[in-house]
Amino acid sequence: MMRQYELVERVQRYKPHVNEALLNKAYVYAMKKHGGQTRASGDPYFSHPLEVAAILTDMHMDESTIAVALLHDTIEDTSATKVEIEELFGEDTARLVEGLTKLKRLDLVSKKAAQAENLRKLLLAISEDVRVLLVKLADRLHNMRTLDFMREDKRARIAEETMDIYAPLAGRMGMQDMRDELEELSFKHINPEAYGTVSDRLAQIANRHAGLLEEITGTLRGLLADNGIHADVASRRKKAWSVFKKMESKGLSFEQLSDIFGFRIIVGSIDECYRALGVVHREWKMVPGRFKDYISTPKQNDYRSIHTTIVGPSKQRVELQIRTWRMHEVAEYGVAAHAIYKDHGAATVGEGKPNGKGGGAAAFKDTNAYAWLRRTIESLSEGDHPEQFLEHTKLELFQDQVFCFTPKGRLIALPRGAIPVDFAYAVHTDVGDSCVGAKINGRIMPLVTQLQNGDEVEIIRSGSASPPAAWEALVKTGKARAAIRRATRAAVRKQYSGLGHRILERAFERAGRPFSRDILNDGLNRLAHTDVEDVLAAVGRGELASAHVIKAVFPDFQDEKLSTPASAELLGEGWFNLTDASGMMFRFPGGDVPAGAVANGDGQSSHQTGDSDRTLPIRGAAGDLPVRFSPEGAVPGDRIVGIATPGKGITIYPIQSPALAAYDDQPDRWIDVRWDIDEANRTRFPAQIIVTAINAPGSLAEIAQVIARNDANIHTLAMVRTAPDFTEMIFDLEVWDIRHLTRLLGQLRESDAVSTAERVNG
């Protein structure tokens, strides 16, 4: 374990005037607080924050960030408090430690239901101070390095999460070295067989070509020196994950890979970068299509370098990267590299080696990577569903870029495979929404054309256009997908609003009352809606009865259909509202009399539920038919249908029920029904869920407690399959509605006793 003085010396190598007192105090405080705690490996727990601090010293972080690394687990795992840390180390350090504590409590591992929301909170915390991200990534890196000591199932979940979230996030912030190691360690645990095979082959090739690599390195160094360019030249080998990913995506065999080895040329200035490129291209032939200049057009994570591939001295393809020392630091450490060149916003030094100054939080603010993070945070205000936000962010994290131009020369960076629609939305949301065509390099091309580096794209617009919903499956950027979803929702809402307007016009006319949008404003509070458009759309969707709107606007309006506690209303659009005495209401289409109904004298029928004596009289229908639920149940919020059985009544099914397939050839038995629940008379409804629980004492009790805490009721429980590690249980529950059921499932998935929790036939 690293000693106190050794940590100070590591920081002094790049920051001679380090605040030793701060580091010493943080070291001693954390060591005392963690005391006799141990990790899964058996090592003292304090070794973990110490290793996290060591990783950050490799990134040349300032002493305040190193202190935060030493303290990052104290509030979560010891008796330490934020107030105590603030008194000892200052407000800034205490705030960062508390932020990291909250992130640890929101650990994403195996909590897929909450992963999107937790990622939101992670990015929000990072946006306030990017040092939170640096410590979090260093923490994850050390945990991955020691993952072998965890349980096998937990190893796989942590590795998958690291590959999905943390590795690409490190790459998006420009920290390529950390991304590479996180991906390698994740690959090792996600697919150990493939990892072992690829690693062995790479090691064999490295041994076989060791002499050739030294020869090429010496040749390049000598050639550049002969032309007056002092350069550091080193060979590098691709990582196992990078090789495997390329083989898998392009369908290549190991023997077909031509860029397993590459060479990095580091020089003192940008001018020498281009001079070195000229020297190399004059000496050896360049491979067409393999040249990229990220100095003139940097990547969005601030990466700058020249990439080229030549047919080298041994007639083999040789991949070269040419960059300055400044670019090299940014390429390796990303946003962390700015702390080397900035001191709380100080001016950037030259392109040569760093001057040894360390920076604080202000050092990161003007980086492109940080700007991307701010743009991603802005998307939180768009109101997307959390899972859509997660999809959006993952698309942004994983993108490999192409660079295109507007007719006026504005550079637009897009993910590889992007189409003109992505380009349009990247320019502006309004441009995307009104896009009807595109010119690529002056020629009209299909909107599904994949864009290439250097394309000039001109978007053709129409003021009356709106994006088709099908575009969502074609675009590559999260911004475009989110905008198309919003536009589609707005278009559907507009259609329902128009239908609702026509329904209310007729209903108000029949009631002998005036109708206008302004009149509806008077009833918004009673209808629990915020604007008139919401009311119209709700009526159009069948969620709100027209008579209820009339009553809300004109409280003195008397209508027999509204005053009867158990009645049915024949709506103008041809629907029956079927309401029982407790307030539970279904809707049946007018004129669609259930099979088996028998006329009676007063022109009404009573629909009796299968579980009680409540009746549902239908005005204009006839006969007595019981109404019951299918075994898997249905809850308000589900799209439901009724299946009529002569002499037995109507069974209510959720639309996704597999049992409905048995009635596909009997369309006369299908009855369209809808919910219309009276909030004042709440009724529970049946739902069936299947829970895979970990086989451990107390698991069932913990699951039952979660269900009880969420105000649900267990009707029956069946153990359907038991294995050494897991038990599958089917619960018949009673819940209020679909939101209640969804919240309950989310809470169950959060429980340590639960592996999976799903709705049966959900």
Residue 329, judged by CB atoms within 10 A of its CB (0-12, 13-18, 19+), counts as buried
Total residues belonging to the chain: 762
What's 172-240 look like in SS3?
Answer: HCCCHHHHHHHHHHHHHHHCHHHHHHHHHHHHHHHHHCHHHHHHHHHHHHHHHHHCCCCCEEEEEECCH
| Tokens standing for residue 597 | 């109904």
Return the bridge partners of 617, or none: 606
Residue of 9, 77, 259, 533 marked catalytic: 77
**Residue 446: CB partners within 8 Å, gap ≥ 6?**
none
H-only helix segments in 643-723: 699-709
Q: How many Å apart are CA 195 and CA 599, to the nearest integer?
A: 74
Residue 125, judged by CB atoms within 10 A of its CB (0-12, 13-18, 19+), counts as buried
Whose tokens are 């100080």? That residue is 346
b/e code 431-453 from CB counts within 10 Å (16+ = b):
ebbbbeebebeeeebebeeebee
Contact 51, 45 (CB under 8 A): no
Q: Compute the CA torsion angle 370, 138, 125, 66 (nearest 10 deg).
A: -90
77 a catalytic residue: yes
Sheet bearing 649-654, strands edge to edge: 615-619, 604-609, 623-629, 649-654, 640-645, 670-672
b/e code 664-697 from CB counts within 10 Å (16+ = b):
eeeeebbbebbbbbeeeeebbbbbbbbbbbeeee
| Tokens standing for residue 497 | 């609003």
Phi, psi dihedrals of residue 42, rounded to the nearest 5°: 95, -10
Q: How many helices (H) and strands (E) does the chain have?
A: 30, 24
Residue 565, judged by CB atoms within 10 A of its CB (0-12, 13-18, 19+), counts as exposed
Return the bridge partners of 44, or none: 38
Residue of 76, 98, 215, 573 marked catalytic: 76
Catalytic residues: 76-77
